[in-house]
């Protein structure tokens, strides 16, 4: 007999994202512009409508008693500075990205280094469905239905050495595909990292899809990290390199603004960003704000990793 068990990190049915999302206005206007310009450059604009292949995945217990944010909002409201700093810029510009074929370089303290085709690194026959909260440092949030595999399964495949203490990640940096690289918003390429125990935690996830289909380009195709108890910028997109190291890796936002963005970046309502409060958040599609949950509501599964640490100092 199948018994549905309510996990202590789940939310109630009352917390439902509105189906009426103001972001549709941008899509409508963009559609008019594209229709007008398509006649001038049909071969270019044909690439904008990438057909996303359905993915077969196994449902898991990582669910929420809360409706996912509408797909339209998830794919139209993004932080992906390689394609522009506006929230709608990635959706407008990421059609240039070529997500296939794709390879990932694996190096550092591993017994099986090399350059792996995506299909050799990710077991597409063992994909999982997981619904996670995504909380961004600008105080907005979403509920996203991801498709992918545990990060731990990939790390086990490449066989970390005993001295490995951290996992570093690097995003593609290609000016032909990513117009945002022309501006020094950050020190490109984008880099991120986790401590080894964080990377091996059951929640840490490598996503290859959302809403049952391949990842759209603007959401980090074809491979992105999802770390749901941390702010969204830790969930690095379009990964091309995974390195294991014995020293804490440099990360892009920490390099750019160390006072504002720490290495750990756990969701913590008690630690304000220097320029705004983190105590409340706005769910995309809603007009009001709600209280921010520590560790984004996943404290029972991750808080033990930080026992004894000062989380205002190690922000």
Task: Give the domain CATH number at 262.
Answer: 3.90.420.10
In a domain, 39, yes or no: no
| Residue 112: closest CA among 103, 101, 121, 123 | 121
Distance CA 279, CA 268 (A): 8
Residue 315 falls within a domain, yes or no? no
Q: Are 78 and 97 in contact (CB under 8 A)?
A: no
The alpha carbon dihedral of 68, 69, 70, 71 has a sign of negative
Query: 3-class DSSP state for residue 304?
Result: helix
Q: Which residue range is the domain that position 188 belongs to?
A: 50-306
pLDDT of residue 165: 98
For residue 265, is it within any domain?
yes
Backbone angles phi, psi at 167, to 5 degrees: -120, 125
314 lies in some domain: no
User: Quick check: is 32 in a domain?
Assistant: no
Q: pLDDT at position 17, please?
A: 40
From first to last of the 315 residues of the chain, give the pLDDT tens digit: 333 344 433 443 334 343 333 344 344 333 333 333 333 333 333 346 789 999 999 999 999 988 999 999 999 999 999 999 999 999 999 999 999 999 999 999 999 999 999 999 999 999 999 999 999 999 999 999 999 999 999 999 999 999 999 999 999 999 999 999 999 999 999 999 999 999 999 999 999 999 999 999 999 999 999 999 999 999 999 999 999 999 999 999 999 999 999 999 999 999 999 999 999 999 998 889 999 999 999 999 999 999 999 999 999
Domain count across the chain = 1
Tell me, yes or no, whether 11 lies in a domain.
no
Contacts (Cβ under 8 Å, ≥6 apart) of 168:
108, 191, 192, 193, 241, 242, 243, 244, 245, 249
CA–CA distance, 302 with 230 (Å, rounded to integer):
10
Question: Is residue 199 situated within a structural domain?
Answer: yes
pLDDT of residue 264: 98
In a domain, 6, yes or no: no
């Amino acid at each position: 007999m199948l018994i549905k068990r309510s996990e202590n990190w789940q939310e109630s049915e009352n917390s439902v994202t509105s189906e009426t999302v103001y972001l549709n206005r941008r899509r409508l206007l963009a559609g008019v512009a594209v229709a007008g310009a398509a006649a001038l450059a049909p071969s270019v604009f044909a690439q904008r409508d990438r057909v996303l292949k359905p993915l077969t995945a196994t449902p898991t217990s990582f669910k929420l008693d809360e409706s996912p944010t509408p797909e339209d909002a998830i794919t139209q409201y993004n932080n992906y500075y390689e394609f522009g700093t506006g929230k709608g810029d990635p959706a407008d510009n990421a059609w240039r990205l070529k997500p296939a074929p794709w390879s990932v370089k694996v190096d550092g303290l591993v017994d099986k280094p090399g350059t792996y085709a995506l299909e050799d690194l990710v077991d597409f026959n063992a994909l999982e469905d997981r619904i996670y909260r995504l909380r961004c440092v600008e105080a907005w949030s979403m509920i996203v239905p991801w498709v992918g595999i545990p990060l731990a399964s990939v790390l086990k495949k490449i066989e970390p050495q005993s001295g490995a203490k951290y996992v570093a990640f690097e995003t593609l940096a290609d000016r032909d595909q990513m117009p945002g690289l022309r501006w020094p918003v950050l020190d490109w390429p984008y880099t991120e990292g986790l401590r080894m125990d964080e990377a091996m935690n059951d929640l840490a996830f490598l996503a290859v899809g959302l809403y049952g289909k391949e990842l759209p380009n603007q959401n980090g195709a074809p491979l992105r990290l999802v770390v749901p108890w941390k702010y969204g910028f830790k969930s690095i997109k379009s990964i091309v390199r995974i390195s294991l190291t014995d020293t804490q890796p440099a990360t892009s936002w920490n390099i750019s603004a160390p006072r504002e963005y720490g290495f750990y970046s756990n969701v913590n309502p008690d630690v304000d960003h220097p320029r705004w409060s983190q105590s409340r958040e706005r769910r995309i599609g809603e007009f009001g704000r709600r209280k921010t949950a520590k560790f984004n509501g996943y404290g029972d599964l991750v808080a033990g990793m930080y026992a004894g640490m000062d989380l205002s100092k190690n922000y």
